[in-house]
A = this chain, B = another copy of it.
């Protein structure tokens, strides 16, 4: 097995040394088609002669028809109704660290509310010097910040507590997205209203039919939370809280209240449904952990994976995936091909940003034998992503949320991948 870096790959180093290291000379290198005349190169193709769409055809562009399988997908049996349900980001079909807005997973509790921007209001009340009501235009008169952050549902990978359940990283890990937010620091709005000394918590409330409410400690509210109105440059999508959502970097997605209508300042948490009967972790002793807000370091190999098998046969192969931590940046990602016997340092590519997805790659020469693929993330605090068994040992078997255990894909000799668990 040979590791290569993106920078130093020489011609010999890549193809030839690679094949030699693989043992037998494998068929199908990365580019060996020159000897066979290829009609797709030697003959004129329709697109070489036919004029394509003009610039007036699609004022707002959509993906090409050949990518129509790259969509969010829901699992109908997972919930009773699609208005209180989830669809999943197709992580296996993406690369880099930005999630395009049209593919960001959705999780609603009363469907995606539709609010005209002129009718949008945000109230700040409770333990403040002066209760205030802001229009969207009011918010846009405060200084703005731009930051890329991942947003992960606390229930992401939740089905995996019971063992390998769902066959595809879209379903096991697809309750996550990563976009650039533009917004106003929540701190600026709270300072405008004047938080009283006894104000220690905020309640964030949504304007949708579910009236989602979550308590957040004032320290976090005054730290890095954003009242955001843009994602990846444009207005928030309706299903992401248009016109305004709360951004709570590194913390579970349920707290990122969408269609944000009210911030109440109080002296203790409100103990709402979504922080008591839901989004808590039932422990072996029958008590529940609550206020488990931070999303710990986690990673997943997105390719190959059950929805994205290796189709090119043995030879040079790229493994890629995502890593993230609610505690900051990712320092290192390790990849194993043999279920944890040997670990290799993956290559990170792209900007390393606080509480953002990180993209990793591991290139190797596949000899065609079965693989047991895993990745593990190490974040800037030194925390190492644990195995699922290590998590179960502490948390028992009743958990739904906060499963950041190491994911295993078994790859067979045909390159097909399957969700498995190994001990």
Contacts and interface: CB of A to CB of B under 8 A. Distances in A.
A209 B49 CA distance: 5
12 contacts: A9-B188, A14-B192, A30-B192, A33-B135, A34-B131, A40-B121, A55-B239, A58-B239, A70-B234, A96-B233, A98-B232, A180-B350
B67 A145 contact: no
Interface string A305-319: 000000110011110
B52 A6 contact: no
Given A30-B192, A119-B40, A85 B54 contact: yes
A409 interface: no
Interface stretch (A100-108, A286-294, A396-404): A100-108
Interface string A32-72: 11100010110001011111111111111111111100111
B86 A52 contact: no
Nearest to A230: B95
A112 interface: yes
How many copies of this protein are present in the complex?
2
Given A55-B87, A111-B52, A233-B100, A143 B363 contact: yes
Nearest to A195: B11
Nearest to A36: B133
A421 to B, nearest CB: 28
Nearest to A67: B235
Nearest to A62: B102
A60 B71 contact: yes
A113 interface: yes
A353 B317 CA distance: 30
Contacts of A74: 55-56
Given A49-B209, A87-B55, A349-B144, A100 B101 contact: yes
Contact of A144 (B33, B98, B211, B320): B320
B95 A71 contact: no
Tier of interface size on chain A: 35 or more
A315 B110 CA distance: 38
B6 A100 contact: no
A61 B211 contact: no
Contact of A146 (B73, B95, B232): B95
Interface in A315-374: 315-318, 320, 347, 349-351, 353, 359, 361, 363
B230 A94 contact: yes
Given A14-B192, A82-B55, A208 B95 contact: no
B144 A95 contact: yes
Contacts of A100: 100-101, 232-234
Contacts of A38: 121, 133
Nearest to A12: B191
A194 interface: yes
A194 B141 contact: no
A134 interface: yes
A6 B114 contact: no
